[in-house]
Structure 1
Amino acid sequence: MYYPYLRGKQFELLALRELSRNGALPDYSRICPIVEPLKDDSSTNQNAFSAMLDCGMRFALVLNPFRGEFRRDTGKFAQDFLNYVQKYQHASWIPAFLIDSNVDLAKRLIRKLNLEGVMLIAQEDVDLEKIRDLLDSGVVKYLVSPESKMNMRKIQRMHLNLDLIRIDDKFPQVKRNNDYRNTKESPNNEDQLFSEEYIFYKEDRYAGFSDYTLLTKDLADGGALPYVVAIHLTYVGKDAEIRVRHFLSDSNSNGRENIQKKFAEAAEKAKKFFAKRWDRTASVDELVQFMEDGHYPGLGSIKKISIKHHIQLVDHLLREDDGR
């Protein structure tokens, strides 16, 4: 099972809405997004939640957010969502809680709202003793954390009925898009290993795996128009590993001018790369259509397309693996 970790930015929520449309995925049995809200905008959030609930896409929702516009939230978001979701009688969602720095609020809400089947999320290595009371209570079903052999052994000794999910920060981050370009020092910088977890997570005794898709764990605000347009797309390498390729614009000497031309250059490279590949998705087709129409869709839409493509690709790989 793949648990892509997404923040509540507009383009990430739009990616989930579009993946909820008929035909975007064959079904929703292998994908369970984890959503951490950032904006206290009920209509934007609910549009994404409704789309997933209506199509039957299971998702986990962080009910104790503390970033973005929720720095002072004391449980109002959780209560508002529970009131909203009541109209969905057979809603398939998981109450999730961050435990790195907001564990006290998590404990209060779980008890106050009488929640079960809870997901706890640790984005750093977690001391299980700090949440031992929650684990012993039987309300926790999922624990998301970075790989830890020590915690794996502890969970086994505690005989807990937990689904342990490993989360990794996989996307290679650089200061500038141009740093993805091949150089003498880094001759393969435009093409890098992304993940092999879909192959090995069961062997490593995990119930699922998670990452931040084509984004990083670090939360960054949007910036100005880039000097270099970069389109990041995953694909399957020769040894079945997932790799990420960075398609970069070339006409970058004029600063931030002519963004449409730069987008077209990067998108043309993506089009040629995926022209005859089996792992080309409908999201790549969408990107190519923008380029052929002479339209620059904006940085957010490019990220949205990259996220959708990656989730569609992982879903396909999990289906293939299940069919073997």
Structure 2
Amino acid sequence: MYYPFFRGKQFELTTITNLSDELINSGKIIPIVEPVSNNRDMKSHFPGFVEKNLPLILIVNPFYPRESPLSITEVESLFISPNYSYSNLIPAILINSNTLTRAEQGFITRYRDKPITFIHFQELSNTQWILGELSHRAKKTLHVFYDGKISQTYQNIFKSRDKIILRDCFHTQAKNANYPPDEFFSDLYFNYQSLGYSGFSDFSIVGDSFGKGGRAHAVAIHFVYPEKTPINTSNIRIAHFLSDTNGSPTNPGGKYIEALGKLISFVNQNPRCNFGKGVAEFRSNHNQSHFPGLGVVKKISMIHHMELIFQIL
């Protein structure tokens, strides 16, 4: 099972909305969403999630933005409504401190008779309260552990069989021009079970970073692909297709077309990469010399990533 982690920006929410019904209903992929910035975008996309009854894990205590994160009450208001029932939504608590707040403890207690997810970005200094609470829960409890930040000793405290490994597979660079042409991305999809987990998670082609960005001199298209065939025995690699005219931040549309030409040539030479809505949308942009905006470009790359995982699992 794959749990892609999204930070709830506009283009990420659109990515989820645009997933095919086949992928949504496959039972192979459940997005995790941490709503950030404001809840306007979440409110605009939420009816679409409800209509599809999209399997979704929603973090109710987001960490970003650090200055003014949404409160549990604000996020909870999204899915508590007399107008609809969202049976496939599972709320999640993000543990990003060594203690739980009273509001977080209150939420966990209120949802004692419902499924819940705990996402461990930090280790609790005292696990007595949460272990006591877990002992009263009859519903499924999922634990997501951030690889490299959470020790195995801490993970072993939680006896649930439903444990997910979260790993940041994307090596973020300060400048787009610094990305290498190609690098290893992940092999989690075929070794998460041997590591003792029931599923795996990552931050797709965005990485564990939160920023508003800026005007870049170079445009980069990040494209994951199977290293070889058959694809379900292959490492996943990532190619970074860069524009050529990178002397100034002007003309991002022209730079996108430059980078896109390289991507299309790569796909044409590697038929194992030629599938799905993501590649079809890149081809459409190339055929029409169309620049949809950098946020949409990220959306297309993320859709392609999830389609690849769907093909593999």
After TM superposition, the score normalised by the length of structure 1 is 0.84
Change (3 A) 1:279 1:302: same
In 1, the alpha carbon distance for the partners of 2:200 and 2:73 equals 30
Q: Deviations over 1:7-31 (max 9, x none)?
A: 1110000101111x445x3733100
Matching residue within 31, 40, 62 for 2:29: 31
What CA distance in whole angstroms lies between the structure 1 residues aligned with 2:133 and 2:240? 42
5 Å matches for 1:98-247?
98-101=94-97, 103-104=100-101, 105-114=103-112, 116-124=114-122, 129=127, 131-138=130-137, 141-147=141-147, 148-155=151-158, 160-180=159-179, 189-224=180-215, 226-238=216-228, 240-247=234-241
Change (3 A) 1:137 1:283: same
> How far apart are 1:190 and its partner, in Å?
1.3
SS at match of 1:231: strand
For the 8 Å contact 1:7–1:37, the answer to whether it is kept is: yes
Change (3 A) 1:265 1:93: same
Mark the CA change 1:278 to 1:73 in structure 2 (over 3 Å): closer, same or farther: closer
Amino acid at match of 1:8: G
Letter in 1 for 2:217: Y
Map of 2:294 onto structure 1: 299
Rounded to whole Å, the distance in 1 between the matches of 2:123 and 2:168 is: 13
Among 89, 96, 100, the alignment partner of 1:93 is: 89
Alpha carbons of 1:93 and 1:57: their partners in 2 closer, same or farther (altered >3 Å)? same
Contact 1:40 1:70 in 2 (8 A): no
CA contact under 8 A between 1:144 and 1:164: conserved in structure 2?
A: yes
> 1:140 deviation in Å?
6.3
Cα offsets for 1:110-149 (capped at 9, x unmatched):
2245552110111245557263333333266011112443
Shift of 1:89: 3.6
Partner secondary structure for residue 103 of structure 1: coil
CA separation of 1:113 and 1:152: change in aligned 2, threshold 3 A: closer
- Letter of the 1:94 counterpart: I
CA distance in 2 between partners of 1:196 and 1:179 (Å) = 24
When residues 250 and 120 of structure 1 are mapped into structure 2, their CA distance, relative to the original with a 3 A threshold, is same
Matched, 1:274 2:267: yes
Secondary structure of residue in 1 paired with 2:164? strand
Counting matched residue pairs gives 300
Query: d(CA) in 1 for partners of 2:124 and 2:238?
Result: 29
SS at match of 1:210: strand
Q: CA 1:247/1:89 → structure 2, altered by over 3 Å: closer, same or farther?
A: same
- CA RMSD in angstroms comes to 2.4
Question: For residues 100 and 133 of structure 1, what CA distance do their matches in structure 2 show?
Answer: 20
> Is residue 53 of structure 1 aligned with residue 47 of structure 2?
no
**Compared CA separation, residues 257 and 300, structure 1 to 2 (3 A):** same
Are 1:317 and 2:312 counterparts?
yes
Query: CA offsets, 1:47-93, max 9 Å, x none?
Result: 43332332243110011123238836443224312323x54446211
Aligned CA distance change for structure 1 residues 300 and 278 (closer, same or farther; 3 Å): same
What are the superposed Cα offsets for residues 262-314 of structure 1, whole Å, 9 maximum, x if unpaired?
11110011101112422333202202211221221111111111111101111
Bigger Cα displacement from structure 2, 44-53 vs 200-209: 44-53
Conservation of the 8 A alpha-carbon contact between 1:38 and 1:68: yes
Where structure 1 has 5 or more consecutive residues not aligned to the other structure, the ranges are: 181-188, 319-324
Q: How far apart are 1:109 and its partner, in Å?
A: 1.4
Q: Residue 63 of structure 2 aligns to which amino acid in structure 1?
A: F
Segments of structure 2 that go 5 or more residues without pairing to the other structure are: none
Identity across matched positions, percent:
30
Asked if structure 2 preserves the Cα contact closer than 8 Å seen for 1:65 and 1:71, the reply is no
Distance change in 2, residues 1:153/1:265 (3 Å): same
- Structure 1 residues 265 and 241: CA distance shift in structure 2, 3 A: same
- 8 Å CA contact retained: 2:50, 2:86: no
Task: Return closer, same or farther for 1:277/1:297 CA change in 2, 3 Å cut-off.
Answer: same
